[in-house]
Amino acid sequence: MGFSFGGGPSQPSQMELLSARVEQGLAAARKVFETTRCPVVAAGDADHAYDDKYLLAEFLTQTAVGSAFAVLQLLGLGDEAALRLAEAAKMRAVTLRFDQVLSCTLLREEKEEVEVPVTRTTMTTGDSEQGATTVTHHEVRTVTKWLFTVTATYELYAYVGNDPKGTALPLKRAERTATVAMGACTAPVSVPVKEVAEVDITWLLERLDSSGTASFAINRGDAECRTPLRNPEVAAALKAFRGLSAFADGVRTHFRGTLVAARQLGRADALHQATDVPVPLVPVVPVMWDRSTAGAAPAVAGGGAEAGTVLSGRDAEALLLDSRRLLDERCASLRDAFPADEGLVTWEEAKVCAALSYMTRVCEALAGGVEYIEALLRRQLVRAVGKEVTASDFRRYIDFHNRCLFTQPYAPVLFSYAIRRPGHAHDPEGALSLEEISPAGERAVATTVTRVRDMAAPFRFALSASADLTFTGKVYVHSYVAHRFSTERQAQVELVARAKQFSGFVVLLGQIGGKDLFLPKHAFLCQNKDEFKIPLALDEIPTPKEFKDAIASLSPEQQRFAKAYRAMQLEATLFGVCVIQVKPQLEKVLNLPPDALTKEIKLTQQLLDLFTKYHIASDLLSYQGDTYEDDIDVPAATKVAAVKAHVGAILEMVREAEAEETQDAKARAEFGRTAATSGFDGSGASTAAPTGGFGSAAPSGGLFGGSGANTAAASGFGGSGASTAAPTGGFGSAAPSGGLFGGSGANTAAASGFGGSGASTAAPTAPSGGLFGGSGANTAAASGFGGFGAPAAGGFGGFGAAASSSGGFGGFGAAAAPVAGGFGAAPAAGGFGGFGAAKPGGFGASAPAAGGFGGFGAAASSSGGFGGFGAGSGASTAAPTGGFGSAAPSGGFFGGSGANTAAASGFGGFAPSSGGGGGEANAFSTSSSSAPLHAGVLPARDELDVSALPHALETRYEALDKDSSVRPTIITAAAQWQKTSQRKLLGKPERAFIMGCREKDTAFDLLSALTRSGGLEVEHADLHVVIAATHCFDKTLMDTLVQHNVNPIEKVERSTLIVASTIHDAPAAALVKAGHAERVEALNLQVAAQETPMA
C-alpha cells in the first residue's frame, strides 16, 4: 500500500492502516533482537516522553538514509565514489540520471512453408433426407516473416551541476539486443526513443560524514520546528525521498516498457511480479523498547547494550544489515528467471528493478512512520480530552477562560441587554441580544468585551433630507472577537430583538460615520411581543500585515487608492445599534410628565396608530404647552385627559371618513344595478337618483361637494338627483346645499352644476355656497360654474349677470356693479376670489362666510375653500389651520361654510396656528437649531472618539499580532429577516420572513412624530457600537494542536487582550486577575507592556 507524502490530516481509519503496517514490520524486527529481557513494541504501546517522538523520527529517517545508500551500492555507487560525490554536494547539486535509448532495425525477410489445416463442408440432398459432410485436410502455404533487431541501451550515472555530460560518474551501462519476428513489415519501434529519469540526491549525500556514516538530526530550537513531523529537517527528508520514489518507479517503468515494445509481454509481467514482491524486512519501523517488562537494557544480537526507549544507532545498523541480507537473497532468486546474457532485460536489469522496488518501500515506510507519530499524538490527545474537540466546544471553553482570566470590571459579558426606561423602577420593555448559532444548530448568546459610558455629546442621524435627529444616553462599546478554523463552518450570528406585550421601542441598525454621527441603514418598530431575528454577515478584510505586503510593489497612485478604500473598510467595522424607547419620548412630545403613559395602554396604542398609520401631527394631540413643565401645578391626570380628548376627536374623524368610504363603496355598487341619472351628461331621473360623478356626499358634505340640510345627499363632482323635479345635468346638480362645481337650491327646482344651460327659471342656491358654486337666499341666484345665458347668471359663467348675489368662479363682467365680482365674490359670495368687484374682493375676499377656492389672505372669521392661504381665522371659538381647504362641520373637502365653529382642515395645515394653506413652513422642517448633516457643524469633542477605534486597533494589530492572524471584520445586516408577531392579544404567534427594508419607513414616521421632525432631542437612548475581529486559523482545531503544535487558547487570548486593552485604554496586565498577570506578561509581553492610551 502507499502513503501520501503530504502529511495531511490523519483520520481514524488511516491510523488503523498505519498501525497494521507497523505490526507487519514489527514482526520482522523482533527476529533481529533478543527479546528475552526487553521486547520491542510499537511506539504507541510503549511508555515514552514527548521528546522520544523526536528521537523516533530521527531514527526512522536515519534508517531510511542508510537503506537508500544500500540501494545505491547495488546500482554501482561504491563507498569511495559516494564520498567524492558527498564532497562535491557541499558546493553544487548532484543528480542521479538514467538514460535509455530504444531503437529497431530490419534484419531480414524470411519465408517459410507451413501446413495449414483446412476444413471443407459439403451439403448432400436426397429424396428422403438431407445431410452435410465435413472433410479436413492440410495444405502447405508459404508464410513471410520480417525479423527486426531491437536494441536497448541504458546508462545510469551521477553528475555534478547542471551539465549531464560534464563531470559524470558512470554507475552502470549496458546494451541489450533481441530479435523480434513480425507478421508485417512494420517495425515495433518506428524511430529511436530516448527515455530519461533523474533525481537530485544532494540532500542524501549531505547526510554522509567524512567517515562515510549517515546521520540525521532535528533542530528542535528552530522557530519553524513544530512537531516531529512538522519541521524543516523532516520536510526536506520527505521531499528527497519523494523524488527517489518517483525516480525508482520511472526506471522500472522504462524497463517494463522496453519488453512491451519488443512484444515480450509475458516477460514484462514476469519482471513486474518478480521484483514487486515486498522484502520481508524494511528497517524503517516506528518501534520502541518496552521497558515496563524489565529494567535492564536490551541486548542487541551480536553486540552490547544501550539504555533508552528509542532504538539506538547500533540497533539501526542491525536492522539495516538484516534488511540488506534479505535484499541480496531476493536479487539472487532472480537469476533463474532472467539469464545473464539473454534478452533485453537480463539478471542485471532485474536486480536494478528489485533494488528500486525496495527503495519505493523504504520511501513509503518513512512517510508512513512519521505520519504514525503524528497520528499517535492525535490519538493520545483525544484520549486525554475524551473526544474530538470541535469549534463549538472551543467557543464554550473561551467563554469559561475569559471568566477566569479577566478581573470583574473588564471581564467579557453576554451581549444581552434589557431595554428599560431610565432608572430601575420599571420592568423592561424588551431585550436586545447578539446570538451565535453553531453549525450543529446550538444557540448561545455572544460574549463581548464591553465598555459603558454616558455620551459626552449628542449623536445625530438624518431623519430626512432636511432634518436631523439628535439623541443622548449611554454608549456601549463592544469588541466581538470571533475565531474561525479552516474547513469548519463559522458560527452564524444574529441580532435578536424581543418586545413585551404593551411595550415598544425603535431599533436602528447602521454604522458609525464619525465621532457624533450615526448612519442608519435599517430601522424597525418592535412592539407587542414582536421578535425580530436579523442575520448578520461577518466579512473579513486582510490583516494589516497582509495589506502592507500586498501594496508594497504597487505604484504610488495605486497605493493611495488602496489606502483610501481600506480606510472606508475600517470605518465599516463599526456596527451600530441604536435603541430608542417609545413611551418616554411619547410623553415628551405630548407635553406630559414622565411615567404619565405607563398605565395608559390603550391610549398609547392609539397614539402609535395615529402616528404610523394616519400620520397625524403630534401638535394636534399634545397637551397645550411647550413642555411638560408648563402648568406644572396641573395634575398629570388632567393633562392625560386632554390628550385623550384630542385623540378621541381625531379617531371620530377617522371613523366618519371610514363610514363615508363604506357608503361610497355601497353607492358605487348600487349605481351599477340601477338606471340612475348620469353624473356628467345632464340627464335626470323622475325618482331619487343615487350619487354619481367623482364622489357624492352625505348631508354633511363630502369631497368636492357642498353641505345640505334636511335634504337628499349633495353631489360631489357629479350630480345627484333631488326628490323634486329633476334638473338638467351639467357637471353636476346639487341638493339644497351646494357642492363643488355645483349650485345649491332650497325647495325649488334644482340648479345645474357645471352647466345647466337654457333653464327658464333659476333658483339654484341655498344660503351658503360651495366652491365654484354660487350661494343665495330665496332669491334669483346664479348657477354654479355655468348657467350660460340664464336670466340670473352667476358662477364661472353668468356672463352679464345682474343677480343680487353673484357666486361661483366669478361673474365676469357683471352688470350689477354693487355686488358683482370679477373673479370673485361680494359679501356673501363664494368662489375663487373677486377680480374687480365693487365690494371688497379680488384675490382676497373678506366675506363673513366666504367659501370656495379663495379668500387668499382673507381675515374672515372662518375662511374656507381651497384654503385661506395664510389666513388667520378669528372665530369666536378655536379655529385651527385651514390647509388646502378648511371647512366647517357642514363643509366639503375643498370648501365649506360656517362661522363661529371649529373649522377642520381639509387638505392639510401647512402652517401651525395660522389659517389657510399658505403657511411657508415645510411640514418636515424643524425649528431646532441643530445643523443638518451637510452643514458640517459638529458638537464638542468627545473624550472617547468611537470612530477612532478601527485605526487604533489597526496600529496595534500591526505591532503586536506577530502571526498576522487577526482580521478586522465588517458586520452587515442581511436583507431578509425573520419576524414573529402576535396580531391579537390572545392570538397565536405567526412567523414570517420579511425584507428588512420595508420596516424602515414605519419606524422613521414614528420617530418624526415623536421628535416633531427632529425638533425634540431624544433622551436616554442606548447606542451599542460593535467592533468585530476574527482570529483565523489555517487548520482545523485538532490539526492546529497536532500538526502546528499551537495552543489556540493562547492565540485567541492574545487577540482578545489586544482588543480589550484598546477598548478600555489600559495595559493588558491591568485587565487580568493577579494569578494570571505573570503568565500574560510571558505569553503576551508586548501586549502587557503596551500602555500608550488610544489617540
**pLDDT tens, 351-407?**
999 999 999 999 999 999 999 999 999 999 999 999 999 888 898 899 999 999 999
- Residue 570 to residue 1027: CA distance in whole angstroms: 10
Q: What does the pLDDT read at residue 3? A: 41
CB 109 within 8 A of CB 145: yes
Longest Cα–Cα distance of the chain, Å, equals 149
In the predicted structure, residue 539 carries a pLDDT above the cut 90:
yes
Report the half-sphere exposure of 772 (CA within 13 A, side-chain side). Answer: 23
The grid cell for 287 is 518501534
pLDDT band at residue 849 under the 50/70/90 scheme = very low
Q: What is the pLDDT of residues 90-103, one digit of tens each?
A: 999 999 999 998 88
Based on the number of CB atoms within 10 Å of its own CB, is 229 exposed (0-12), middle (13-18) or buried (19 or more)?
A: buried
In the predicted structure, residue 599 carries a pLDDT above the cut 70:
yes
Phi then psi for residue 801, to 5 deg, are: -70, 145
What does the H/E/C string look like for 766-824?
CCCCCCCCCCCCCCCCCCCCCCCCCCCCCCCCCCCCCCCCCCCCCCCCCCCCCCCCCCC
How many other CB atoms are there within 10 angstroms of residue 316's CB atom? 21
Q: What is the pLDDT of residues 7-64, one digit of tens each?
A: 444 444 566 777 777 777 777 777 777 654 567 788 888 889 999 999 999 999 999 9
Q: What does the pLDDT read at residue 191? A: 67
Q: Which helix (H) or strand (E) holds 612?
A: helix 601-612
| Strand-pair partners of 105 | 149
Q: What does the pLDDT read at residue 270? A: 83
- Residue 1073 to residue 405: CA distance in whole angstroms: 6
Q: How far is CA 155 from the centre of its chain?
A: 62
- Determine if residue 457 is left, alpha or beta; phi over 0 gives left, psi from -120 to 50 gives alpha, anything else beta: beta
Residues 878, 884, 887: CA angle, nearest 5 degrees? 45
In the predicted structure, residue 1090 carries a pLDDT above the cut 90:
no
Q: Length of the chain, please?
A: 1095
What is the three-class DSSP state of 591?
coil
Q: What is the pLDDT of residues 918-959, one digit of tens each?
A: 333 333 333 333 333 333 333 333 467 899 999 999 999 998
- DSSP secondary structure code for residue 1072 in this structure: B
Report the half-sphere exposure of 399 (CA within 13 A, side-chain side). Answer: 14
- What predicted TM-score, i.e. pTM, was given to this entire model? 0.66
> With pLDDT > 90 as the criterion, what percentage of the chain qualifies?
40
Give per-residue burial for 132-157: e unless 16+ CB within 10 Å, then b: eeeeeeeeeeeeeebebebbbbbbbb
β-strands 976-981, 1018-1033: how paired? unpaired
Only one residue has cell 518506428, namely 190
**The dihedral sign for the CA sequence 507, 509, 515, 516:** negative
Instruction: Select the more confidently predicted residue: 385 or 843.
Output: 385
Q: What does the pLDDT read at residue 625? A: 67
- Residue 407 to residue 1070: CA distance in whole angstroms: 9
